[in-house]
């Protein structure tokens, strides 16, 4: 089989970086070209080790630059676009929706247009595919006993982030129905794991606990999210790309619905255990409560809720399981263990991000605490 030639947008971000590590390990003969604008969320150190591979290329650029995307696609004879690039943080979308409209909506439309310009209607290039990586947040919120989201659940986004992702999903589908573009879409639940920017719940709680800083839980902490270890997400996308499923949408989930407060308490227990058992870590993180025999849970602080905060997400991933047999490889327990261990071993990755952005974070969250 001829090697594939992938354009991975947002490949220096959290899931994109994990995806290109996964892909270069599992499909060593394929060409992988990353296009990433390196916003605050893009980190070259996440993919530094790949830059020595002959099959790998990094290009700094914006997905809204249609000319650049077309040039790259032609130059590299791209036959697969895996589209991760986005503004991804719900809280940021509440403070400033414009960037979300620009990248998530306008950027996705530009990419679609570039793919159409280069591939035509797809008939001449039967092996080409535009895979759009989306989120469960497009479906809105669930009550406790509501059934989980299926692919036909009506879109009902709550945040500007979710609305921008919903709009992009609609455009991707429209380019298939109208122009025959060979697309697929996946809507996934919350990811976690290595290279996760420490503004999102899990990495934020880990790095704050290590430094003895408060662990801000929004509202009463009862909101429920479904969690999937990021490598499982990458594997699911791989399976969708290998399937003959043009025009289809698949939900991807971790079967790990958990209330935020329980999740944070689990993380605290893991950190207490790990740090409590290691004199080296106790010396390295003297401000962490676990270093002095206390629990990180004492840092939990309830703060004002996120406006429009969806209460529960739950994914029914039967369609993907039936089509490919996909099952998450990690449970929440094993995945959180791996994640905590990664952050303990990779302080050189996350520390610089905190030093540069911690002041900004404190400013935002301090205001939030004041209001609660």
Question: CA–CA separation, 282 vs 286, rounded Å?
Answer: 6
Q: Least distance (Å) from ligand NAD to the CB of residue 234?
A: 11
Q: Least distance (Å) from ligand TDX to the CB of residue 177?
A: 24
By a kind-dependent CB cut-off of 5 to 8 A, residue 85 interacts, out of ligand NAD, ligand TDX, none, with ligand NAD
Under rule CB under 6 A, residue 90 binds ligand NAD: no
Under rule CB under 6 A, residue 19 binds ligand NAD: no
Site for ligand NAD in 158-197 (CB under 6 A): 165, 188, 190-191, 197
Q: Least distance (Å) from ligand NAD to the CB of residue 211?
A: 22
Among 4, 16, 47, 350, binds ligand NAD (CB under 6 A): 16
By a kind-dependent CB cut-off of 5 to 8 A, residue 257 interacts, out of ligand NAD, ligand TDX, none, with none
- Residues engaged in binding ligand TDX (CB under 6 A): 88-90, 135, 137, 190, 200-201, 204, 216-218, 223, 225, 260, 306
Whether 90 and 162 have beta carbons less than 8 Å apart is answered as yes
Q: Least distance (Å) from ligand NAD to the CB of residue 112?
A: 14
Residue 366 is among the residues annotated as catalytic for this protein: no
Q: Least distance (Å) from ligand NAD to the CB of residue 225?
A: 9
By a kind-dependent CB cut-off of 5 to 8 A, residue 115 interacts, out of ligand TDX, ligand NAD, none, with none
By a kind-dependent CB cut-off of 5 to 8 A, residue 260 interacts, out of ligand NAD, ligand TDX, none, with ligand TDX
Under rule CB under 6 A, residue 253 binds ligand NAD: no
> Residue 346: what are its φ and ψ, rounded to 5°?
-130, 45
The residue whose Cβ lies closest to ligand NAD is 13
Under rule CB under 6 A, residue 326 binds ligand NAD: no
Other Cβ atoms within 10 Å of 339 Cβ, number? 22
Residue 136 is among the residues annotated as catalytic for this protein: yes
Residue 76 is among the residues annotated as catalytic for this protein: no
Q: How far is the CA of 148 from the CAs of 153, 257, 263, 300, in angstroms?
A: 9, 10, 20, 29
Q: Provide CB contacts within 8 A for 291, sequence distance 6+.
A: 275, 281, 282, 283, 285
By a kind-dependent CB cut-off of 5 to 8 A, residue 10 interacts, out of ligand NAD, ligand TDX, none, with ligand NAD
Q: Binding residues for ligand NAD, per CB under 6 A?
A: 9-10, 12-16, 36-39, 41-42, 62-64, 84-86, 88, 103, 107, 133, 135, 165, 188, 190-191, 197
Give catalytic residue positions. Answer: 136-137, 161
């Amino acid at each position: 089989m001829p090697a594939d030639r992938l354009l991975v947008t947002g490949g220096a971000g959290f899931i994109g970086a994990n995806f290109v590590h996964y892909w270069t390990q599992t499909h060593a003969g394929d060409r992988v070209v990353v296009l990433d604008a390196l916003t605050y969320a893009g980190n070259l150190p996440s993919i530094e080790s790949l830059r020595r591979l002959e099959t790998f290329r990094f290009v700094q650029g914006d997905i809204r630059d249609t000319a650049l995307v077309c040039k790259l696609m032609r130059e590299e004879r791209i036959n697969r676009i895996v589209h991760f690039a986005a503004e991804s943080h719900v809280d940021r979308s509440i403070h400033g929706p414009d960037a979300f409209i620009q990248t998530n909506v306008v950027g996705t439309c530009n990419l679609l247009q570039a793919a159409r310009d280069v591939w035509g209607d797809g008939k001449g290039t039967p092996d080409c595919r535009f895979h759009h990586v989306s989120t469960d947040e497009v479906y809105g919120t669930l009550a406790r006993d509501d059934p989980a989201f299926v692919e036909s659940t009506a879109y009902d986004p709550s945040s500007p982030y979710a609305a921008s992702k919903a709009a992009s999903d609609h455009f991707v589908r429209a380019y298939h129905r109208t122009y025959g573009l060979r697309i697929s879409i996946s809507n996934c639940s919350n990811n976690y794991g290595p290279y996760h920017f420490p503004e999102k719940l899990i990495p934020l709680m880990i790095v704050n606990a290590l430094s003895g800083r408060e662990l801000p839980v929004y509202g009463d902490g009862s909101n429920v999210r479904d969690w999937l270890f990021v490598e499982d997400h990458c594997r699911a996308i791989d399976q969708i790309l290998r399937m003959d499923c043009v025009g289809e949408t698949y939900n991807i989930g971790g079967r790990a619905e958990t209330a935020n407060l329980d999740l944070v308490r689990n993380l605290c227990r893991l950190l207490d255990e790990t740090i409590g058992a290691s004199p080296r870590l106790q010396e390295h993180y003297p401000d962490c409560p676990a270093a002095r025999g206390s629990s990180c849970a004492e840092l939990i602080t309830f703060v004002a809720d996120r406006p429009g905060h969806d209460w529960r997400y739950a994914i029914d991933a039967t369609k993907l399981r039936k089509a490919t047999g996909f099952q998450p490889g990690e449970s929440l327990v094993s995945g959180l263990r791996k994640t905590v261990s990664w952050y303990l071993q990779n302080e050189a990755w996350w520390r610089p991000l905190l030093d540069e952005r911690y002041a900004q974070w404190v400013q935002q969250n301090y205001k939030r605490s004041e209001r609660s």
